[in-house]
Amino acid sequence: MFAFIARVVVGHPWRVVAGWVLVAVAIAIFSPSLDDHTSGNEQDFLPSSFESIKAQELGNEYFPETAGATGSLVVSRPDGAPMSPQDQQTALSLATTLQNEKIPGVTGVVGSPASFSPDGKVAALQVIFAGQPGEDDVDAAVPLVRADANKALQGTDLEAGLTGNAAIEVDTVTAYGDATKVITIATIALILLTLGLVFRSPIIAILPIVVIGLVFTAVQGVTAMAASAFDFEVSTSLSAILVVVLFGVGTDYIVFLLFRYREELRQGDNPPHAIALSTRVVGRVITSSALTVIGAFSALFLAKLGSLSSMAPGLIIAVALMLITALTLIPAVFTIVGRHLFWPLGPGREPKRSPYGALGSFVGRRPAIVVAAVVSGLIVLAVFSSGYKATYDTLAEMPSDTPSQEAFDTLAESLPPGALSPTQVYVKTPGPVPQDELATLATNLGKVPGVSAVEPPKLSTDGTAALVNVILTEGPYTTDAIDTVEGPVRDTARSSVPDAEVEVGGQTSTLVDVRSQLTADTKLVMPVAFLIVGVILGLLLMSVLAPLNLLLGVGLTFAATLGAVVIVFLHGAGLVGIDFSTPIVLYLFVIAIGTDYNILLAERLREEFGNGHSPQKAAQIAISNDGPTVAASGTILALTFASLVLTGLDNLRELGAGVAIGVLLASLVMAPMLVPGLSVLQRSAFWWPANKAKHAGPGDDAELPPGPTDPDDSTLVKS
């Protein structure tokens, strides 16, 4: 199959390029915007059966005037001093002014003497929006509230900042948009620099950027069409992750082709034939690698947590389109450019001495030492993974100068942090809600450890539903707050009104459900992804023990990677926790993308072993020839993911650093050292049951079209 693809692409390169351009343009014109299907509201990603969602539905039905997104407009003096009586009057007047502005998307702005903190330094005016966080009207209203508040306070001694779930949603989208721009610029710069240094060719440095940029546009469009067709939202982090995945994986596949293409040219082959042969040989490897990544990401479809499952389509589409690109568009462009691809110095000659040649000899002679050293080092790092602590505080993960974060910090200095987003306890009865039971409910909730205050109950218009707002002592996103709501608050609420429907909602309750579902999803997704990758490796290598070796190595690499992340961010940077989604996403990236390099080395080992070489000789040849490929592509991919560290968003920093560490371990340690070492130690058993695997070597190219007899004559290639 790969020989057929190579023959068609090399025979008709201009038609392939033209077809790609037409398809990409059509997608760009007719596809919707991915931004229209992006959300940072965790409620959008939870099943309707969860308690926080049921509570929101009760709020929408019985308390629509307060069930929308909320905000705290924090008014204070810039010098941090207590507000004077005049300042307090100005703050209360601000609520009236904004209410009279009739800002679209805002149903009310409320201020009263109860809005002031006990120390008199802060006034927290309540802003109620007409809709949920992330909805267009709400998102548009946030900057209007901020602008009108600043305008109204001009010439006074006060300033105002808006926080709360509506403002946090807007600031989160803005932060991720800025992060995507930073990542894109950094990624392009890194790829230009590294490819230019490795291949010493400006053409090679620039071509992948142009090609992958074209594919990136198509991926965004196709993902948006899928989101529109199947009615799902994607997380705000997806765009940033797509950039590094597409440019990282795409560059990997291009580097795989370039190294084999250059190897064939150095051996005297002509460009068209060398491209066709490289596409056939490497095509099998990158297809297996892509299928491994797609298979691992497909396991995310099993997750009930939408922020995880909604990542799957975009990531799968990205890798699938990049695979098609690597098999068609890239070889076509290489064919058109021909030998000029390596301008100005050409492909050069094989180096007489290579560090990977020496490494290959050492692994062949001392496999036990190599395997023991690598496994011991990985185990030491893996031990630290037991110190992992999760955080759900998405607000604290944003840059400290984020407007909603600054306003929250001001609020938390004078009021309980839980005032940012009270926990809502809804009570629904067939008839009128008994007043004595409501009084008991409020009293019991006030006694719960971790509860700062309980507001007086509110009755619905028909009297059959009630709302009790509970203010926690800790911030609504903290682990302590989540623990308080999950256990004492929910238990106390149900036991206080035993004959009624009681649902606990609010931001903290949403995170309770997110944490619960994440635990269940992790237990399901991780082993399924592990199994899928194992099956693909088994089919590729036609062996049982070889894939098992690779899987165990990748699993150990993931544990070591998580341990390294714990060392860097918990022990080094002093963070209180690592983002709750990091382990499962990191796991998928490490076992999927990290397996690419193992596949390349294992396939070359199998090829040389099948050609009759001893395990020692096969390891030496594989490491000498493919070690530089793995090192270069792994380093580029690691640097690409490392660009996430520049975003200022803690969850992206952790993911970027984690994947970078995992990829480096896979490409510099596991693939060129552990896998060949194990193959030498286990000898023919490594390939059991196919102890002498039949495999076409690079010289078996009877299916490929003959190239021009003159190496520089590219005019014989059809266009």
On the question of pLDDT at 37 being above 70, the answer is yes
Q: How far is CA 63 from CA 132, 162, 459, in A?
A: 14, 23, 9
Cα 365 to Cα 617: distance, rounded to the nearest angstrom? 10
Helix, strand, or coil here: 234? strand
CATH number assigned to the domain covering 355-410+515-521+540-688: 1.20.1640.10
Cα 598 to Cα 582: distance, rounded to the nearest angstrom? 23
Listed in sequence order, the residues at least 6 apart from 55 whose beta carbon sits closer than 8 Å to its beta carbon are: 424, 426, 503, 504, 505, 506, 509
On the question of pLDDT at 328 being above 70, the answer is yes
On the question of pLDDT at 719 being above 70, the answer is no
Per residue in 682-695, pLDDT (tens digit) is 988 888 876 554 44
| Domain span(s) for CATH 3.30.70.1320 in the chain | 422-505
CATH number assigned to the domain covering 422-505: 3.30.70.1320
**Closest of 702, 653, 713, 75 to residue 415, by C-alpha:** 75
The DSSP code sequence of 313-332 is HHHHHHHHHHHHHHHTHHHH
Which residue carries 């959300």 as its tokens? 39
Per residue in 158-201, pLDDT (tens digit) is 999 999 989 998 998 888 888 888 888 988 898 899 888 888 89
Listed in sequence order, the residues at least 6 apart from 89 whose beta carbon sits closer than 8 Å to its beta carbon are: none
Q: What is the mean pLDDT of residues 430-436?
A: 92
Confidence of residue 45 (pLDDT cuts 50, 70, 90): low
Per residue in 661-686, pLDDT (tens digit) is 999 999 999 999 999 999 999 988 88
Q: What is the mean pLDDT of residues 431-437?
A: 92
What's the token pair of residue 181?
């721009």
The pLDDT value given to residue 702: 41
Do residues 463 and 62 touch, judged by C-beta distance below 8 A? no
The pLDDT value given to residue 694: 45
| Domain span(s) for CATH 3.30.70.1430 in the chain | 69-169
Q: What are the residues facing 39 on neighbouring strands?
A: 235
| Peptide linkage before 416 cis (omega within 30 of 0) | no
Entry field: residues in the chain: 719
Tell me what the pLDDT averaged over the chain comes to. Answer: 87
Buried b (16+ CB within 10 A) or exposed e, 516-544: ebbeebbeebbebbbebbbebbbebbbbe
Do residues 275 and 297 touch, judged by C-beta distance below 8 A? no
Q: Where are the beta strands (DSSP E) in 586-633?
A: none
What's the token pair of residue 528?
């399924």
Q: What is the separation, in whole angstroms, between the first and last Cα of the chain?
A: 21
The pLDDT value given to residue 488: 96
Distance of CA 583 to the CA centre of its chain: 11
| Domain span(s) for CATH 1.20.1640.10 in the chain | 1-30+200-350+694-719, 355-410+515-521+540-688
Q: What is the mean pLDDT of residues 32-38?
A: 78
Q: What is the mean pLDDT of residues 40-57?
A: 79
On the question of pLDDT at 696 being above 60, the answer is no
Helix, strand, or coil here: 162? strand
Per residue in 616-650, pLDDT (tens digit) is 998 999 999 888 888 888 898 899 889 889 888 89
Helix, strand, or coil here: 449? coil
Cα 655 to Cα 669: distance, rounded to the nearest angstrom? 20
Kindly state the percentage of the chain with pLDDT values over 90: 49
Do residues 639 and 332 touch, judged by C-beta distance below 8 A? no
Query: Into which CATH architecture does domain 69-169 fall?
Result: 2-Layer Sandwich (3.30)
Q: What is the DSSP letter of 430?
A: S
pTM higher than 0.95: no
Helix, strand, or coil here: 453? strand
CATH topology of domain 1-30+200-350+694-719: Multidrug efflux transporter AcrB transmembrane fold (1.20.1640)
Cα 22 to Cα 30: distance, rounded to the nearest angstrom? 12
**Closest of 61, 79, 39 to residue 166, by C-alpha:** 39
